[in-house]
């Protein structure tokens, strides 16, 4: 008779530690499942790159695996925020296709949702790619984007009581960017003399730590999250320093930051980050991009993005592409991306389940 075991993964101190096997295999399983959903292997992270976030004290995480005949065939992730007031959990259950339909996904989802209830969370949130398919579609409540109604992942989430809330567009920019220097010059002229770009790699310069902590916090409140009601994520200078130190010590990926200063006030008005893998054949990720509401209308998003792409071309040339995610209703940022040359390649769906 078919059977499986669910167990929590011990987070190893290093990828080559004796107890790292389950962690490494769980990352491989997650990458394989996500490749099917996104339709590309370019979003995969290596186990050594996935390990540092598990040591982030501000975002507690757990990982569980399903084991069949000694082999890890599925995983579930659980993440929340530190502090008694944290009311949300981010969860996902991922099963290799050949092991679906046997109750494994449900068992893993039960485990992470039970943990959320035990910790007093008000809701659980899921972000997952949905592979494209023919037939009827479900429109996003935001009015932007849709997903195939017949998807097995869609039906699974609906059966478990999740409501579909938002579509995130996955976009790809082939590198190198044609006419990049001209794009930067035009962006600088359009934004005007009141704004100046600053670029750095790795650790945040001391001068900008306080401003970047403000921007990090505002990223959690200013980005569109539809009916998900994503909670505020407060950043402090101390948290920023800890995160920088952890990334420098543990993560082989290099972070390139572009931030724009409002010259009259001497404070930062926005930022964007590229996450660069060490291997040249792999795509670069574009992380958070934010312009403070009070500084919008000056084309600062375009200025920061093209300036950071120019920075990338100088210090880490040779990568095939940049990948980024944006809410489909964030038309302003999508306009910026499309003007630079990003093209849509996939969708990610966002779901919510109220637990209390």
185: enclosing H helix or E strand: helix 180-191
Report the CATH number that the domain containing residue 14 is assigned in CATH.
Answer: 3.40.630.30
354 inside domain: no
Residue written as token pair 């599925």: 74
Of 148, 168, 188, which residue is a domain's last?
168
308 and 208 fall within a common domain: yes
How far, in Å, CA of 145 to CA of 66, rounded?
33
Which pLDDT belongs to residue 356?
Answer: 80
Residue 44 structural domain:
5-168
Backbone angles phi and psi of 165, in degrees to 5 = -120, -30
Of 114, 135, 168, which residue is a domain's last?
168
How many domains would you assign to the chain? Answer: 2
Nearby residues of 101 by Cβ (< 8 Å), 6 or more positions away: none
pTM for this model (two decimals): 0.95
How far, in Å, CA of 287 to CA of 219, rounded?
11
Mean pLDDT by 10 residues, the chain (356 residues): 89 97 98 98 98 97 98 98 94 98 97 98 97 95 96 97 98 97 97 97 98 95 88 96 97 98 98 98 95 93 97 98 96 94 97 95
């Amino acid at each position: 008779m078919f059977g499986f075991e669910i167990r929590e993964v011990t987070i190893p101190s290093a990828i080559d530690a004796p107890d790292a096997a389950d962690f490494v295999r769980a990352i491989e399983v997650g990458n394989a499942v996500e490749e099917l959903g996104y339709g590309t292997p370019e979003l995969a992270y290596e186990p050594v790159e996935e390990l540092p976030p598990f040591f982030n004290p501000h975002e507690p995480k757990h990982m569980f695996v399903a084991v069949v005949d000694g082999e890890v065939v599925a995983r579930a992730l659980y993440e929340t925020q530190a502090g008694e007031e944290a009311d949300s959990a981010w969860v996902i259950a991922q099963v290799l296709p050949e092991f679906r339909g046997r109750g494994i996904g449900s068992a893993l989802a039960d485990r992470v949702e039970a943990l959320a209830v035990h910790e007093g969370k008000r809701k659980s949130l899921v972000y997952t790619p949905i592979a494209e398919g023919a037939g009827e579609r479900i429109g996003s409540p935001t009015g932007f984007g849709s997903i195939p109604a017949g998807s097995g992942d869609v039906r699974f989430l609906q059966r478990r009581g999740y409501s579909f809330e938002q579509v995130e567009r996955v976009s790809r920019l082939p590198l190198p960017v044609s006419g990049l220097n001209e794009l930067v010059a035009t962006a600088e002229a359009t934004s005007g003399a009141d704004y100046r770009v600053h670029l750095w790699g790795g650790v945040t310069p001391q001068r900008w730590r306080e401003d970047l902590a403000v921007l990090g916090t505002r990223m959690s409140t200013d980005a569109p999250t539809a009916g998900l009601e994503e909670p505020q994520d407060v950043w402090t200078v101390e948290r920023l320093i800890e995160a920088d130190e952890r990334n420098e010590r543990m993560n082989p990926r290099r972070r390139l930051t572009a931030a724009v200063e409002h010259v009259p006030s001497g404070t930062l008005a926005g930022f964007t980050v590229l996450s660069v893998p060490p291997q040249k054949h792999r795509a670069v990720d574009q992380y958070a991009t934010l312009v403070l509401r009070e500084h919008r209308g000056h084309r600062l998003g375009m200025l920061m993005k093209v300036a950071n792409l120019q920075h990338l071309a100088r210090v880490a040339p040779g990568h095939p592409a940049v990948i980024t995610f944006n809410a489909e209703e964030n038309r302003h940022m999508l306009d910026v991306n499309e003007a630079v040359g990003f093209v849509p390649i996939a969708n990610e769906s966002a779901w919510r389940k109220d637990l209390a």
